[in-house]
Amino acid sequence: MTTGTTPRYRAADLRAFAAALARAVGLPADKAATMAAILVEADMMGRSTHGIEHMGHWYLPDLERDVMTKAGDVAIVADHGAALALDGRYLPGTWTVTRAMALGFERLERHPVVTIAVRDSHHVGFHAAFLRRATERGLVMILLDTNPYFEAVAPASGIKPVFSPTPVAYGFPTAGDPILVDFALASTSLTSVERANRLGERLKGKWLIDHEGRASDDPKALLGQPKGSILPLGGADRGHKGYGLFFMVYALAAGLSGFGTPASPRGFASAVFLQLIDPARFAGRAAFEREIDVIVEACHASPAAPGGEPVRVPGERAMKTYRDSEANGVALFPTVLKTLKPWAEKLKVAIPAPISG
């Protein structure tokens, strides 16, 4: 069906389209399919800034120029059973994290908690898609990543960027939908700034500072020259809180993986921290879900603020959108296929047709 003026597309068609684009520039089929699945899931959950549009701006150019590694596996740097350090070898981040999770799932058969640190992964993508795959197995998952030399976010009180936007994500099962938390330690994401700049729009808040430290909602404050910064989570008034969390992620992801600062920086390289926890090996899964359900019910029972929406728990809207996308098709942001059309024409890959009414 087509809803209103926004055409919808079958998720399977979008996955096939994205995978075909990746294969056309030399990515092996298994890695192409994983990349497509993670990216399309972002669109399915309503997070279009992290969906298949990434392919046109970031992934396909790096694949075509042989910047992103295409073949082979991650390398094991250290293996202590329940603790692993991996070298991602600049393979696709969507595939690298999926591969690390598969190793983690295997290790959970012998250990209640498995922790994996990965260095030199390409851009990881939409974290909540990975979380959902873990919570479906009844597991708790923590996923952090940072780019040790991509400077976009200023430290609290500073005006020169030091950190990458640095996503933090965690998910856990409940008796119903999982709790999925996925946010960046920056006041806004780089992709949101870039999209606003392409569309000639301002941001919804003064989340940036220019090179002189003046607060701004103009994307050019960050993207222009001299370069500005994104404010840390909490903004000008409470940015010290987000700033403090940057150090936690940097230590766990870059520190534990031994990423370091390469002599030849690569733009999308990430250090990743991934932890999988099996509640069944603690007080039991039933006890875990019972405790979580109590707080979920309390949140839902809290009266909404005047004029506000009913209280939701993290991930509730994303899962509702995901199910709607599965049943009725994925509503793509208007710029997505415009971005990918030149690539589709160049690589001779057919753009999927929308679902007809």
Whether 355 and 331 have beta carbons less than 8 Å apart is answered as no
The one-letter code for the residue type at 159 is: I
Q: Which two tokens stand for residue 324?
A: 């709607």
Which pLDDT score, from 0 to 100, does residue 148 have? Answer: 84
Mean of all residue pLDDT scores within the chain = 93
Residue 184 DSSP class: E
- Tens-place pLDDT, residues 37-58: 999 999 999 999 899 999 999 9
pLDDT higher than threshold 60 for residue 3: no
Tell me what percent of the residues of the chain surpass a pLDDT of 90. 86
Give the pLDDT score at 263: 56
Please give the angle made by the CA atoms of 239, 242 and 244, to the nearest 5 degrees. Answer: 105
Kindly report which listed range (31-45, 100-114, 125-139, 189-203) carries the lowest average pLDDT score: 189-203
CATH superfamily of 188-230: Hypothetical oxidoreductase yiak; domain 3 (3.30.60.50)
Strand boundaries in the chain, DSSP class E: 8-9, 75-79, 83-87, 113-121, 140-146, 167-172, 179-184, 208-209, 215-216, 229-230, 270-277, 330-331
| 4 — pLDDT class (breaks 50, 70, 90) | very low
**Is residue 8 pLDDT above 70, yes or no?**
yes
pLDDT greater than 60 at residue 2: no
Distance CA 39, CA 100 (A): 18
Domain with residues 80-177+239-306, CATH architecture:
2-Layer Sandwich (3.30)
Domain at 1-73+322-357, CATH from 3.30.450.40, 3.60.20.10, 1.10.1530.10, 1.20.1290.10: 1.10.1530.10
* Domain spans of the chain, in order of start: 1-73+322-357, 80-177+239-306, 188-230
Supply the Cα-derived Rg of the chain in whole angstroms.
20
Q: What is the pLDDT of residue 150?
A: 83
| pLDDT above 70 for 357 | no
Q: What is the pLDDT of residue 262?
A: 63
Q: Which has more pLDDT, 2 or 30?
A: 30
> Who has greater pLDDT, 257 or 194?
257
Pick the residue with more confidence: 357 or 83?
Answer: 83
Tell me the whole-structure pTM to 2 decimals: 0.93
* The Cα angle at residue 141 between residues 194 and 327, in degrees rounded to 5: 65
Highest mean pLDDT among 147-156, 221-230, 319-328: 319-328
The pLDDT tens digits of the residues spanning 258-284 come to 987 665 567 789 999 999 999 999 999
